[in-house]
Amino acid sequence: MIEAVGLTKRYGSVLAVDDLSFTVRPGHVTGFLGPNGAGKSTTMRMILGLDNPTRGQVLIDGKRYAELREPLRSVGALLEASWVHPNRSARNHLLWMAKSNRIPTRRVDEVLEQVGLTSVQNKRAGGFSLGMSQRLGIAGALLGDPGILLFDEPVNGLDPEGILWIRQFMQRLAAEGRTVLVSSHLLSEMAQTAEELVVVGKGKLIAQTSTSAFIDQASESTVRVRSPRLDALRQLLLGKGHPVDYVDGTLLVRAATTEHIGDLAAANGIPLHELTTQRGSLEQAFMQLTGDAVEFHTHLDSAAEQAPELTAQGANR
Amino acid sequence: MTLMAVERIKLVTTRAPWLCAILALGLTVGLAAVYAMQADHEVAISGSQLGIPFGLIVVMVLATLSVTTEYRTGTIRTTFQAAPSRVKVLGAKAATVAIIAGVIGEVYSFASFGAGQLLARDGAAPLSTAGDWRQVAGAGLIYAAGAILAVAVGILIRHTAGALALLLVYTLMAENLIQVIPNVGMDIHPWMPFHVGQKFLSTDGPGVGFFPTDDITLSPWASLAYFAAFAVVLLAIALGVAKKRDA
């Protein structure tokens, strides 16, 4: 279990983490979600005792990281896959880590096997691809068979196969009863990996909730309808008080169910060619919630946010 | 002990320390051999130990790299993750590097002496007095202290280029240039740490040796203590800074 209480980190005039309190429980993958620059990595470094909090503290099973004896046996972490010496072999990298916490050498072979690096264990880590480096980092995290695992943006830059592997790996670790905290700036990624979410923006806690509750709350669903008599259907729906958008020859109906629209169309003899529920874009929902919590706004961002509104307005007339 | 074993593994599993050790071998024993072969007189102890100060600089480069590469590659964070007590882990690093540097100094100084004995055409001075022994066997102690100092500088500066530039400019130039400062220069110079440390490896008596240390009033052993104390104090400061700093 990880407990952050009033965690605050100030770099000069920048408040990177602002009075952040959250709890990460065992048995689930917990997503640590927030836009780039939200303070996720800083928070993870503070969990590991690498950065000192300006205020507040973070406890691991009730202890500060510095108080842990042989900490690799309690907490495994992959913050940056590049944190290896490029000229040291993968095996030697794990060997010194194991030695430092009196972990038997046998474990080095086990974790190499587990992440599938046995065949390249004597190759220099500097020659590894990003995916292999990521696996080496995970091997290091698993070395002490820890109950708590931290991963910072583990799927960044990986190919689909690598992403799937890491996703399943983390879920398996959580299923074994471990505490798994994974950071990401992509809600869509977290939606597929994490059961619980800690959402941050500009260093502040935005929400701590289950992923499904967060998505339900964050995104409203719309129903997409195609019909040869679209205009008649539109009048009907507007008459019933449903907000309707006309986009590319289809109707997008908000705050309605497929059952309701289907029944309405049938009762009025309107044939339907398509009737589907559409989840609002997770990324849009996420942007809505973290809205002004994004640190660096660009003009491109604001243009992208405005674009859908323009289409919708045009269609309403 | 565990942490020192870890530091030993880290050192021997990368190339840079080995390259530094080989380079130091060439600068010490190699130089002694060339000197002995060319000398048309009896080779003094100081003659065979001619390259020891150059070897010291290379060993200090090794010591600096042992810290700064960890900061450059980020393995220092993995290190602190594995052992959160920074004073202990960096202290273990300083101790390990000091021991390795000491062994290098000892082996190379005796090998240099041996090269003089074997290769000098007109013979070489034997180890007869306590001062002779100190000149040769003392190299390991100076190397160890120098390594501690270099580790401290590495911890404080963290960047390879910056730390090396500071160490090289300081040892090769700054201490000597101090002398040209009007009025006080000549008074400060006898207290510059590397200059003082050199006295420990110098021949007794005035004006002998390649690096005159006549202006130093301290005895050879007091000189060693002074140099070592300087290194240890700098390490203590570095550890204090590392403890407070974000990794």
Could you state, in order of their start, the residue ranges of all structural domains in chain A?
2-216, 220-278
Q: Measured between CA atoms, how close is B161 to chain A, in angstroms?
A: 17
The residue of chain B nearest to residue A72, with distances taken between CA atoms, is B82
Length of chain A: 317
Question: Which of B3, B69, B82 has the CB atom closest to A85's CB atom?
Answer: B69
- From chain B, which residues contact A within 8 Å (Cβ)? 2-3, 5-6, 9-10, 13-16, 69-70, 73-75, 77-85, 244, 246-247
Determine what percent of chain A is predicted with pLDDT higher than 90. 58
Q: For position A288, what pLDDT does the model report?
A: 65
Ordered DSSP codes for A178-205: -EEEEEES-HHHHHHH-SEEEEEETTEE
User: Residue A35: pLDDT band by 50, 70, 90 thresholds?
Assistant: confident
- Cβ A85–B82 below 8 Å, yes or no? no
Q: In chain A, what residues touch B74 (CB-CB under 8 Å)? A: 80, 82-84
A18 pLDDT more than 90: yes
- Across chain A, what does the average pLDDT equal? 86
Question: Which tens digits make up the pLDDT trace of A186-217?
Answer: 888 888 899 999 999 889 998 899 988 887 76
Q: In chain B, what residues touch A73 (CB-CB under 8 Å)? A: none
Beta bridge partners of A274: A226
- Across chain B, what does the average pLDDT equal? 93
- Cβ B6–A83 below 8 Å, yes or no? no
A21 to chain B, any CB pair closer than 8 A? The answer is no
Beta bridge partners of B200: none
User: Residue A312: pLDDT band by 50, 70, 90 thresholds?
Assistant: very low
Q: Which domain holds residue B225?
A: 2-244
Record the tokens describing residue B35, joined without a space.
Answer: 């000197």
Q: For position A276, what pLDDT does the model report?
A: 87
- Cβ A79–B77 below 8 Å, yes or no? yes
> By C-alpha distance, which of B179, B181, B184, B195 is closest to B230?
B195
Instruction: Report the complex ipTM.
Output: 0.89
Greater model confidence, A205 or A278: A205
Give the residue ranges of DSSP H helices in B49-159.
52-73, 75-82, 86-119, 130-137, 139-157
B214 pLDDT more than 60: yes
Q: For position A279, what pLDDT does the model report?
A: 66
Q: For position A304, what pLDDT does the model report?
A: 42
Q: Output the CA torsion sign for A191, A192, A194, A200.
A: negative
Question: Which of B2, B73, B246 has the CB atom closest to A84's CB atom?
Answer: B73
- Cβ A77–B84 below 8 Å, yes or no? no
Q: For position A291, what pLDDT does the model report?
A: 61
Alpha carbons B121 and B118: distance in angstroms, whole number? 9
Q: For position B210, what pLDDT does the model report?
A: 60
Q: For position A98, what pLDDT does the model report?
A: 97
B86 pLDDT more than 90: yes
Question: Which tens digits make up the pLDDT trace of A279-308?
Answer: 665 566 677 666 655 555 554 444 444 434
Q: For position A16, what pLDDT does the model report?
A: 94
Q: In chain A, what residues touch B85 (CB-CB under 8 Å)? A: 66
Number of domains comprising chain B: 1
- Cβ A72–B81 below 8 Å, yes or no? yes
Determine what percent of chain B is predicted with pLDDT higher than 90. 80
Question: Which of B6, B77, B80 has the CB atom closest to A99's CB atom?
Answer: B6
Q: For position A23, what pLDDT does the model report?
A: 96
- Cβ B82–A72 below 8 Å, yes or no? yes
Integer-rounded Cα radius of gyration of chain B: 19
Question: Which tens digits make up the pLDDT trace of A38-70?
Answer: 999 999 999 999 999 999 999 999 999 999 999
Kindly compute the dihedral angle of the four CA atoms of residues A264, A265, A267, A271, in this order, to the nearest 10 degrees. -170
* Assigned fold of A220-278: Alpha-Beta Plaits (3.30.70)
DSSP 3-state of A89: strand
Alpha carbons A31 and A182: distance in angstroms, whole number? 5
Section A145-169 average pLDDT: 91
Q: For position A224, what pLDDT does the model report?
A: 87
Asked if the A2-216 domain carries CATH number 3.30.450.40, the reply is no
Question: Which tens digits make up the pLDDT trace of A219-238?
Answer: 666 788 999 998 888 888 88
Record the tokens describing residue B89, joined without a space.
Answer: 């882990």
Question: Which of B10, B80, B81 has the CB atom closest to A96's CB atom?
Answer: B10
